[in-house]
Amino acid sequence: MIGLLGRKKGMASIFTPNGGQIPVTVLEAGPCPVVQVKTVERDKYKAVQLAFDPIRPKLVNRPLTGHFEKANLEPHRLLKEFRDFEGDYNSGDVLKADIFKDGDIIHVTGISKGRGFAGVIKRHGFSRPNQTHGTHEAFRGPGSIGQASYPARVWPGKKMPGRMGGTRVTVKNLFIMKVDADKGLILVRGAVPGAPGSYVSLHKAG
């Protein structure tokens, strides 16, 4: 599976020759050095470990420092494995945005924006009850959450108020509108989870 690590830069628009507007997300993809190559003979599975976003050595603990020194690389903030990576690579090779091309279909994974504690209307899309006819003190409440005598409990998985967002989300089948290999940018059609500046991982679909 071909993949790359990157950062969400923000959103923009692309205009077609006939005047149509296409919303796109701008992703900074790579450069990602290969830190380690795992093989079936040694590690029981095939994978390529990529790094992204160089940082100062003083910010990295000793085990990770030794891990990067073994590959003759400077420390990076992000490490991720991509299993069954297509092609032959060695430690020290650098992957850039040009491994993708215009028209490719990719999956993008990121951490969604954290919304804090939210009620059922915002979190699950519940409707409000009547504002009259006996309704009082529960205009944005969830209503009944179960029965009394049987089962006399709240079933697991019941949609309730709680922490919203801040979870790992994958948006599948995003169309690559443009790849700018010189600047390391990829423009995909549609939205991508996360705030501008957050990390994302890109996987080629199929």
pLDDT per residue as tens digits for the range 28-85: 987 999 988 888 888 888 889 999 988 898 898 898 889 888 888 889 998 998 888 7
Q: Note the pLDDT of residue 6.
A: 92
Would you state the structure tokens that stand for residue 6, as one six-digit string?
């990157």
Please, what are the domains in the chain? 3-116+168-204 (2.40.30.10), 117-164 (no CATH)
- The model carries a pTM of 0.81
pLDDT value of position 124: 95
Residues whose CB falls within 8 Å of the CB of residue 149, separated by 6 or more in sequence, listed in order:
none
pLDDT tens profile 122-170 = 999 999 988 888 888 888 988 888 888 888 899 999 999 999 999 999 9
pLDDT at position 196, please?
A: 93
Q: In angstroms, rounded to a whole number, what is the distance separating the alpha carbons of residues 192 and 168?
A: 12
Which range has highest mean pLDDT (45-54, 84-93, 110-119)? 110-119
Order of all β-strands in the sheet with 32-38: 76-83, 47-54, 32-38, 94-95
